Amino acid sequence: MNESIHMHRAEKLWLRFGFLMLAIFLATITTASIIDGISPPSRVQTIDPTKVAQTPPFDHPGVRKISPGHYEVYYVAQIFSFNPQSISIPVGSHVTFYITSSDVEHGFYIPATGVNTMVTPGWVSSVSHTFTKTGKFLIVCHEYCGAGHQFMAGSIEVQ
Amino acid sequence: MLSTQSPLRNAENRLILWHIYTATGALALGALFGLLQGFSRANFLVMPSWFDYYRMLTAHGVLMALVFTTFFITGLCTFAVYRQIERSERSLTLAWVSYATMLVGTAMAAITILSGNASVLYTFYAPLKASPWFYFGATLLVLGTWGVAADIFANVIWWKKRNPDTLIPLSAFMAATTFLMWIIATLGVVAEMALLIPWSLGWTPGIDVELTRMLFWYFGHPLVYFWIMGAYLIWYTVIPTTFGGRVFSDALTRLSFLILLLLSTPVGIHHQFMDPGISSQWKWLHTMLTYGVVIPSFMTAFAIFASFELAARRAGVRGFWATIRFLPWGNPVFTSAALAMLLFIPGGFGGIVNSSYAMDALVHNTMWVVGHFHITVGGPVALTFIGAAYGLVPVLTGRKLFAPKVALAQAWLWFVGMTIMSLSMHWAGLLGAPRRTSDVTYMGASGAQTWHGEMLGTALGGTILFISIALFVYVAVGTLIWNKPESAPSDFAFAPLEPEALPTPAVFDRLPRWGAVAILLAVLAYAGPLQEQLSQHHYLAPGMRTW
């Protein structure tokens, strides 16, 4: 801070508090990112949306078992549905979702979980989650995609 | 005596009134749509197909976020510059041409939206393709604001040439800094329009979707700071006049505006944390820079409350509650701004959550975000502007404020309505309710019932807000229709400075230099992600009309 600016002692304390709070937040986020790998979904992989139906693995959307407890699920988002519409997986599974759009911008969101990504035409989105509870989970498109956007949903049965 | 008012001053006042009343009109129409949205989401009604939810949502977003705010700020900043840089002769031609350009652009965009040919929401994400008239209209609105900026800069330069060794008067400095930031920010949306317009006309076959998203948010976040700088101008230099207060520190006020100029733009990717195609290191960088732009808000909070306390002390009042009681709660100008400040405390902290890198996954595109921007732009910004209108209209017209008690009730109703609505929205978002969706019941799907109660709360808060806006329109229109000019328009002076504060460094006044640094920071923050976008094989999307 420029020495020539007059600053009240109370204001210095207040700003120090502000800086410290932000520094703690940034340190927490950075540590979680480096040590626990908690980062926003940031896959950089392109695809031609006009050829999604011919491009493996999106030519056969659905669940793939990788190893016991590990699954990959491939989704095609299109107005106004997800393909596959519903899937089921065993409880305790670690699931990596891959989603791409064959038309406009969509979203892929499982309410009240950290599974949340945009689905941009031309790109493949990816996000992982471990399902520790049984039940039926809702998947919704959370980006406006047109007149039927409110119907664009899917489900995951965790058994 | 009316004669004390020069013809030039009268002409300036008329110009500014047009800005303020255009903003009021946009707010009134936007509020009606907002009310209907709340009712739709609470399942009280289903919008008919000839005026569907998404058309209305687009109109609400554009009218509130782009039209109401922009017209108010252009009016406010022009007022600040004209009052602080007094001239015996001043051409208002550029200012009127700019206003007319903004108005024509707004009308073009609004008619296109209301006719159902641009149901693309206020973010107009490609490849949703609106009618070209929508893009033309939005571009004209922005270009009109560039004219307002040119007028502000021309007046400040005129003054600086005649007073090379004096600082630009504080409010005029704030207005010029706000518009310098605005020019840098709107370069992004104008560049986006340069891609969208030929594409919407069918001249280019496709559009790079992710590039347009990046250009939009390069503009979309500083848009938020454009609103906040307008509100801060009022908090720093107008609100103290309501209780005989002073600006706490000239130097720190300018410093906070300079930080806002520098850091408003290089932060936009925090709106794209959940986007594919942008590597996580760029997202981390924009998290850090977004935290930086929190600092001027901390400074502002301190300075504003200090100006309250110092004024109270000069009046011999000491202690927390005594200071609260000292403040002019009977004055709607003060009360609106004070309640707005209270709303900004949770609003600001919520913003830190949203900009916190991976934590955004918990709230991105949920109702939480809708709650956040209603308790920020709908709270601190809109309520401050409404309160300022209660102060400005009498100054500009020489008429007393019509029904000041109604104005006071209006501010409190706004505070209560916004608290209920925004809290409900935040909570619904944490439960998982998505935003931008006409009906969130998903045909009774399991998991979608949890947020219905919050949707009812949203509709209740929205109803109170609608009543509050109706009262504002009643006061604003009543002042013009039922109150006659009775005196010379009351003299207005921005708040004086605290005499004890030490001098402000002269370098603060070198706005072109600060503008250059701001551009450099924006380039540094965006060079990496842009290069990543452009170097990938990208797909050019044809336009689609999915509504």
**Three-state SS for A124?**
strand
Write the residue in A39, A44, A116 that is nearest to B277 by C-beta: A44
The domain that holds A138 is classified in CATH as: 2.60.40.420
In DSSP terms, which residues pair with A74 in a beta bridge?
A: A62, A98
Q: Are residues A31 and A61 in the same domain?
A: no
Asked whether residue A7 carries a pLDDT value surpassing 80, the answer given is: no
Range of the domain at A80: 45-158
Cβ–Cβ below 8 Å for B360 and A40: yes
Q: Average pLDDT of A108-136?
A: 95
Chain A and chain B share a number of CB contacts under 8 A equal to: 233
Total number of domains constituting chain A? 2
Write the residue in A114, A126, A153 that is nearest to B361 by C-beta: A114
Asked whether residue B355 carries a pLDDT value surpassing 80, the answer given is: yes
pLDDT band for position B487 (50/70/90)? low
What does each C-alpha distance from B316 to B320, B323, B415 come to in angstroms?
Answer: 13, 10, 30
Mutate to test the interface with B, among A47, A116, A119, A141 (most CBs of B within 10 A): A116
B536 touches chain A (CB under 8 A): yes
Q: Are residues A25 and A54 in the same domain?
A: no
Nearest residue of B to residue A10, measured between CA atoms? B302
pLDDT band for position B2 (50/70/90)? very low
Q: Are strands A86-89 and A153-158 parallel, antiparallel or unpaired?
A: parallel
Residues B317, B323: Cα–Cα separation, whole Å: 6
**Three-state SS for B62?**
helix
pLDDT band for position B4 (50/70/90)? low
Q: Are residues A93 and A127 in the same domain?
A: yes
**CATH superfamily entry for domain B7-541:** Cytochrome c oxidase-like, subunit I domain (1.20.210.10)
Amino acid letter for position B316: G
Q: What is the pLDDT of residues B233-267, one digit of tens each?
A: 999 999 999 999 999 999 999 999 999 999 999 99
Please report the pLDDT score of residue B1 as a whole number.
36
Write the residue in A5, A105, A138 that is nearest to B255 by C-beta: A5
Q: What is the pLDDT of residues B133-152, one digit of tens each?
A: 999 999 999 999 999 999 99
In the block, residue with structure tokens 């799907």: B445
Share of chain B above pLDDT 70, in %: 98
Active site residues of B: 221, 225, 372-374, 435-436
In the block, residue with structure tokens 């601190």: B380
Cβ–Cβ below 8 Å for A114 and B362: yes
Residues B124, B306: Cα–Cα separation, whole Å: 42
**Which residues of chain A make contact with B127, given a CB cutoff of 8 A?**
103-105, 121
Residue A1 forms part of a structural domain: no
Q: Are residues A55 and A83 in the same domain?
A: yes
Return all residues near B67 (Cβ < 8 A) that are at least 6 apart.
Answer: B22, B23, B26, B30, B106, B110, B141
Asked whether residue A4 carries a pLDDT value surpassing 70, the answer given is: no
Write the residue in B361, B447, B539 that is nearest to A46 by C-beta: B539
Residues A73, A110: Cα–Cα separation, whole Å: 14
Q: Are residues A88 and A102 in the same domain?
A: yes
Determine the Cα angle at B301 with ends B296 and B305, to 5°: 145
Q: Which of residues 449-468 of B touch A (CB under 8 A)?
A: 450
Kindly report which listed range (B90-94, B211-215, B447-451) carries the lowest average pLDDT score.
B447-451
Name the DSSP class of B336: H
**Three-state SS for B404?**
helix
Q: Are residues A63 and A11 in the same domain?
A: no
Q: Are residues A95 and A149 in the same domain?
A: yes
Share of chain B above pLDDT 90, in %: 93
Nearest residue of B to residue A139, measured between CA atoms? B447
**Which residues of chain A make contact with B288, given a CB cutoff of 8 A?**
26
Q: Are residues A71 and A104 in the same domain?
A: yes
Residue A79 forms part of a structural domain: yes
For chain B, domain boundaries: 7-541
Asked whether residue A5 carries a pLDDT value surpassing 90, the answer given is: no
Please report the pLDDT score of residue A54 as a whole number.
96
Q: What is the pLDDT of residues A32-83, one digit of tens each?
A: 999 988 999 999 999 999 999 999 999 999 999 999 999 999 999 999 999 9
Please report the pLDDT score of residue B301 as a whole number.
94
**Which residues of chain B make contact with A150, given a CB cutoff of 8 A?**
437-440, 442
Please report the pLDDT score of residue A98 as a whole number.
98
Write the residue in B54, B280, B544 that is nearest to A40 by C-beta: B280
Asked whether residue A135 carries a pLDDT value surpassing 50, the answer given is: yes
Q: Average pLDDT of B454-476?
A: 97
Q: Are residues A132 and A88 in the same domain?
A: yes
pLDDT band for position A8 (50/70/90)? confident
Asked whether residue B488 carries a pLDDT value surpassing 90, the answer given is: no
pLDDT band for position B489 (50/70/90)? low
Please report the pLDDT score of residue A6 as a whole number.
63
Q: Are residues A58 and A20 in the same domain?
A: no
Cβ–Cβ below 8 Å for B539 and A122: yes
pLDDT band for position B14 (50/70/90)? very high
Please report the pLDDT score of residue B274 as a whole number.
96
Cβ–Cβ below 8 Å for B365 and A155: no
Asked whether residue A3 carries a pLDDT value surpassing 60, the answer given is: no
Q: What is the pLDDT of residues B361-399, one digit of tens each?
A: 999 999 999 999 999 999 899 999 999 999 999 999 999
**Which residues of chain B make contact with A51, given a CB cutoff of 8 A?**
none
Structure tokens at A49: 């949306």
Q: In 3D, which of B418, B424, B280, B426 has the Cα closest to residue B353?
A: B426
**Which residues of chain B make contact with A98, given a CB cutoff of 8 A?**
none
What sections of B238-366 are H helices per DSSP?
250-263, 280-292, 295-314, 320-326, 332-354
**Which residues of chain B make contact with A118, given a CB cutoff of 8 A?**
272, 274-276, 365
Residue A126 forms part of a structural domain: yes
Give the residue, B401 or A1, on which the prediction is more confident: B401
Name the DSSP class of B66: I
In DSSP terms, which residues pair with B541 in a beta bridge?
A: B207
Please state, rounded to an integer, the average pLDDT across all residues of chain B. 95
Asked whether residue B501 carries a pLDDT value surpassing 90, the answer given is: no
Q: What is the pTM of this model?
A: 0.96
Alpha carbon of B184: minimum distance to chain A alpha carbons (Å): 25
Mutate to test the interface with B, among A30, A99, A144, A158 (most CBs of B within 10 A): A144
Cβ–Cβ below 8 Å for B434 and A79: no
Q: What is the pLDDT of residues B260-291, one digit of tens each?
A: 999 999 999 999 999 999 999 999 999 999 99
Q: Are strands A116-119 and A106-109 parallel, antiparallel or unpaired?
A: antiparallel
Asked whether residue B318 carries a pLDDT value surpassing 80, the answer given is: yes
**Which residues of chain B make contact with A155, given a CB cutoff of 8 A?**
445-446
Q: What is the pLDDT of residues A17-37, one digit of tens each?
A: 999 999 999 999 999 999 988
Q: Are residues A54 and A32 in the same domain?
A: no
Please report the pLDDT score of residue B3 as a whole number.
44
In DSSP terms, which residues pair with A88 in a beta bridge?
A: A157
- B177-212 b/e with 16+ CB inside 10 Å = b? bbbbbbbbbbbbbbebbebbbebbeeeeeebbbbbb
Return all residues near B439 (Cβ < 8 A) that are at least 6 apart.
Answer: A150, B40, B41, B43, B46
Q: Are residues A70 and A110 in the same domain?
A: yes
Element (H, E) at B55: helix B53-61
Asked whether residue B414 carries a pLDDT value surpassing 90, the answer given is: yes
Measured from the Cβ of residue A47, the count of other Cβ atoms closer than 10 Å reads: 18
Q: Average pLDDT of B295-316?
A: 94
Please report the pLDDT score of residue B503 as a whole number.
79
